Structure 1
Amino acid sequence: RKPVKKSGKNEHHLWKKRDSAGSGQKALNLVRIVSQLPSEKETVYGELDKWVAWETEFPLIAAAKALRILRKRSQWLRVIQAESLWNMVLHTHNRSISKRLFSRMISLFDHHSMPEKIIEVFADMEELCVRPDENTVRKVARAFQELGQEDKQKFVLRRYMSKWKYIHFNGERVRVKRHTSDED
């Protein structure tokens, strides 16, 4: 009797791969392309389409790295390009966007004092059931406050901030209840 050879779990998929090999160079290439463009949406979309054209899958890791590079270089003046890149990522890979990428975009719009855009990104985040971290929750709450929507601000804080926080007391990490303004 001949033994049947079974394929293992490490099956190679040509069209679906999540590796980050070469993503740094792709990110630098995208940063170089974006920094040379004029601030017109049509040219930005055209160049982004060319950047993605030969990829078998959308280079999500490279796009996230490119956003991080732009942030470190303080070149957020190109908000139109970053926003169009975000829209492209959101529409092509809406189910696999990480929490970090959402929080980077919220940080971008917070840095530029754009509360409407913060709320748009947060709405996408809620729609895709991605739970924000505490810094992102604070930024979203501040955006609601700037727009004069204190009821939504309180709702976001109540819903997403944890009831407990951790502090260091006598060299140990201690869990304490967070004080909220509603408790009286």
Structure 2
Amino acid sequence: VSKKPNKDHRLWIRKDSAGSGKKALCLVNTVSKLPNEKEAVYGALDRWTAFESEFPIIAAAKALEMLKKRRKWLQIIQVTKWLMSKGQVLTWTTYDTLLLALSMDGRVDEAESIWNTILETYTRSVPKKLFSRMIQIYNTRHLPDKVLEIYADMEELGVRPDEDTTRRVGRAFASSGQEDKQKPVLEKYLKKWKYIHFNGERVRVRRAGPLA
């Protein structure tokens, strides 16, 4: 016999979701007005959680998404570091947002340091998107040798790059004078088929070659 959904429980979920959204917006508005001073930021964030019986991690995650949409990179860094200082375990999405924010704020060395810590701590659990993020960061900064270092880690750990990452790796090989390794990588990881729009429809066609 199937049980009917608990309406009260579902209402509670909706109320909780709405409440966390409002609290997230409060955090965003708060940090957006603060000076770039650790004591001021951490003090305000501590007050944000002062009367909570449980740490508002859902609201914090929503706040980070809001800050990302608004391209508030410094504030993302501040909030994330505060979360880490509170012993909160970051999700992969939060780590990805932090790495992006550090890069956009011109703090690539710091992003690299955090990345190395992530890789040393979690190794085989690190998801593809974080490898892709670091390759994107290094590609944007025109650091082909760094791109190839990340790619070497992916190969060692059996992480298959997506197509955008594969193209960046291919360009890195070409930029570093290793053109002979570019084509094999593209042939190995790029799909044999691609999609194009023709007469208003999405059509699958075979690639003419690895660079097509």
TM over 0.5: yes
User: Which amino acid in structure 2 is aligned with residue 129 of structure 1?
Assistant: G
* Residue range with higher mean Cα deviation, 120-129 or 108-117: 120-129
Secondary structure, in 3 states, of the residue corresponding to 1:83?
A: helix
**CA distance in structure 2 between the partners assigned to 1:79 and 1:181 by the alignment:** 31
| Segments ≥4 residues shifted beyond 4 Å | 24-30, 50-54, 56-59
| Higher relative contact order (CA closer than 8 Å, sequence separation 6+) | 1
Q: Percent of pairs identical after alignment?
A: 45
Q: Shift of residue 82 of structure 1?
A: 0.5
Partner of 2:131: 102
Q: TM-score, normalised by structure 2?
A: 0.59
User: Is residue 148 from structure 1 mapped to residue 180 from structure 2 by the alignment?
Assistant: no
1:52–1:59 Cα contact (<8 Å) kept: no
Q: Secondary structure at the match of 1:113?
A: coil
Q: Which residue number in structure 2 is paired with residue 61 of structure 1?
A: 93
Would the aligned equivalents of 1:60 and 1:89 in 2 still touch at CA under 8 Å?
no
> Which structure 1 residue ranges, 5 or more long, are not aligned?
1-19, 35-47
Structure 1 stretch 103-112 or stretch 124-133: which is displaced more?
Answer: 124-133
What is the aligned counterpart of 1:32 among 78, 98, 110? 78
Uncovered stretches (5+) of structure 2, i.e. residues with no partner = 1-56, 66-73
Residue type of the partner of 1:128? L
Q: Matches of 2:99 and 2:173 in 1, distance apart?
A: 25
Amino acid at match of 2:92: L
* Pairing 1:164–2:210 present: no
1:179 Cα offset (Å): 1.1
| Contact map agreement 1:30 1:51 (CA 8 A) in 2 | no
Aligned residue-pair number: 146
Report what 1:180 is aligned to: 209
1:139 maps to 2:168: yes
CA distance in structure 2 between the partners assigned to 1:181 and 1:158 by the alignment: 5
Equivalent in the alignment of 2:21: none
CA apart distance, 1:32 = 2.6
Alpha carbons 1:24, 1:65 under 8 Å: kept: no
